[in-house]
Chains A and B, each alone.
Chain A
Amino acid sequence: MKTLLILGAGTAGTMLANKITRKLDSRVWKVILVDKDETHYYQPGFLFVPFGMNKPQEIIRPKRKYVPAGVEFVLSDVERIDPGANQVILTKENRVIHYDYLVIASGTEIRPDQVEGMLDGGWQQNIFDFYTFEGTNKLANFLKTWQGGRLVVNVAEMPIKCPVAPLEFVFLADWYFTRRGIRNKVDIIYSTPLPGAFTKPIAAAHLGDMLEKRGIHVESEFNIGEVDSTKNVIRSWDDREIPYDLLVATPTNMGAEFIERSGMGDELNFVPTNKHTLQSEQWENIWVLGDAANLPTSKAGAVVHYQMEAAIENLLAHMQGRELKGHFDGHANCFVESGFNKGLLIDFNYDVEPLPGAFPMPIVGPFKLLGESVFNHWGKLAFGWMYWNLMLKGIDIPLPNEFSMLGKVIPESFDAKQTLKLQRGDSHV
């Protein structure tokens, strides 16, 4: 028997297990799926919990429910990978699993310990995250009785998963406080290390406008150096200060610590990965999917969806000694909630930045890219259903895989050359 070992049963690991077991001969291949957590979280739902738009129990399900028959599910943390010996050592009973192929799908986690002072004093008192189940629930409780003041939403450093989520948070906060009748008692400040609202210039301009219209103040190029809980201020490395009453933090996002223990990661524990084939840059029998990879595209569930076809094709090809023809183009898209029952969709890949236009989705009909409409909002809500019932189970979703320029409008003010240049020069530091 040969072993395909998958580390991480989140979006990517679960999808892969479901899809690939249909393609592998079960008399030859044993598939093992390892995760340290028994519960699967629908992470986009974390955004809605603080505003009462999702109840906590709506966004969790047992992981085992999504493990296909014949696959062994192991509940354990990973001690380390020994890629030279083709084996993984688990923390549970020090079990050693020998693999023929390994898929790393351990995602990314927030690391509040990476920002000085963030865990001192104010953490989960008046400093919260909404990137974890625990964090978002505590924030929901806090907001219920909060009577207003300065709400500061901070992004510590890029990259973060779902890079628009903190922006969506401020849009929803604007809507939520309006609905509660206390919008005039709340100052909303969005502080980001980027030069503007988003990493990509055309989208940044659109989103920037939307923020201004809503009276949300943006502190750009703010690289947080410390949180001072005694004074309730955050301070940047270049000594700017932003006072807060409530700090909603998006701390540094990093890959799993076992990646570092295995000596396989970059400075943020993301695994160097070929951006088109999704094979590890260093080890030919290792593939890296989803947020765990160091790819220059967004870390998002939609990206996992777009990667899956190329990943499976290449894994099978490599197992059979064929050439790797699967090609991932960096395709990412995100439904952005903008409050007041509206949303917008941004869509891009390695080479094309997000453009306004309409996104062709055969069954559900076109979503407007980068424009607000009620329909886009339903895109996001509909996505939750698609996630549990189609995506995780490895059933195809009616989203075109290959990024298509159909329906996109390049703004007249951007000539192609300028767009390309802006894209390449896109950076936050």
Chain B
Amino acid sequence: MPMKTGTQYIESLKKLKPKVYCFGEKVESVVDYPLFKPHIHAAAMTYELAHKPEFQEIMTATSHLIGERVNRFTHIHQSTEDLVKKVRMMRLLGQRTGTCFQRCVGLDALNGIYVTSYDIDQKYGSEYHERFKDFLRYVQQNDLMSAGAMSDPKGDRSLRPHEQEDPDVYLRVVERQSDGIIVRGAKAHITGSINSHEIITMPTRAMGPEDKDYALSFSVPVDTEGITLIFGRQTNDTRRLESELDAGNPKYGIVGGEALIIFNDVFVPWERVFMCGEHEFALELVETFAGYHRSNYGGCKVGLADVVIGASAWIAESNGIERASNIRNTLTEMVNLAETCWSCALACSYEGYQTPSGAYTINPLLANVEKLNITRFTYEWMRLAQDIAGGIIITLPSERDYEHPEIGKYIDKYFKGKKGFSTLDRIRMYRLIENMAVGAGLPEAMQGAGSPTAMKIMIGRGANIDRKKDLAKVIAGIDEDPYFKGIAQVKEDKAKAKV
């Protein structure tokens, strides 16, 4: 079976030698670097659960290419049922890690490129799709984790790629050779990239003919010559170096572990190039990828909501107020917000459809509505968690004070709650809420998979306001009502319903 376990995944990372920098130093071993460990554990969960019979139905699928059972994170969706199982998998993993498990971006890149490379070949008779399928077989057979690198640094946002003062602020081809291409530029904020096997790139916006060198999609191993990764900071990141308790979620961390990836004249063989110059397909790839990716958020972030709702309820209980109507109301409101987003995730999956490539995609309008709700509702349920938890989540003394032989007893005594709840457990839960509700997870919900404006553009495009105007004109009696005649047994004049 071509599926790695969690430990096999971690072992496989040891064979790679990516050039990674963090806090101004070169990281010798990604898997041994303490700051990275929680992120690696979260990604490892996507491997581990695939081997558990209780999760197998959701975590695995049968590949249409290699005919074997594969980890769903490498699968091309073959039905709406697959799309539904994908968001179920996201919720499950959000619940089991309490953070970003990183691997969905690569999954969405695989599906987005599968769909778009097929369409490019239909127009140009090129070979991108077949090349991509070969790559996909390799990914499935080796159960690889791929980072999905779409976002360019973008420089002056009002200018197109070819108009930028520095031509490298969007990743581009600088040379075409007989055996491959040379690329230069960068991708920013790329989740899980330091602990991925492959980096898959895609263009980040619509492109015109002058931008054709930027209309680019390819995949390379993370330790390819010329690639440098600079790891980004997150709120309270160094706490995990100091102590376990203060980190809040010491096993799995906070957000996904993002990096700036620099491509300094990197060679990419043609077998790994999936778009090169077909600028009119850049937008299709952006929208297809973004549609898949936005549909995930009502899964993973709702999984996180499940954890934070549970933490809030536990804190209320340990404070002796679990029966108070305000607390019950607040918890109900949190559930309502979370399940609304979940409903969107299910809806856009059930309403998915088959693309010409054979792969299924989500309903784009509903996926964008889902993600726009996430950019708001996550803040709201985290605000409510802060409300229930109280000010202690940002005033608690440190673990070192709690362990201190002289003053530790005061913390233990004065932060005790209801009988039967230890202060230590209460500290753990408060720190978890601090980690989830105060830090980097919030802007992740806002910006990950695109800013709210990007969603509104897509919602506007799918809204079909003209049809809504037609409906209103019929009800208002401006236009003919074809069904009313039958109901009321009246002869409508040409245009109006005469009652």
A-B complex is real: no
* A binding-site residues for B, Cβ under 8 Å: none
Residues of B within 8 A of A (CB): none
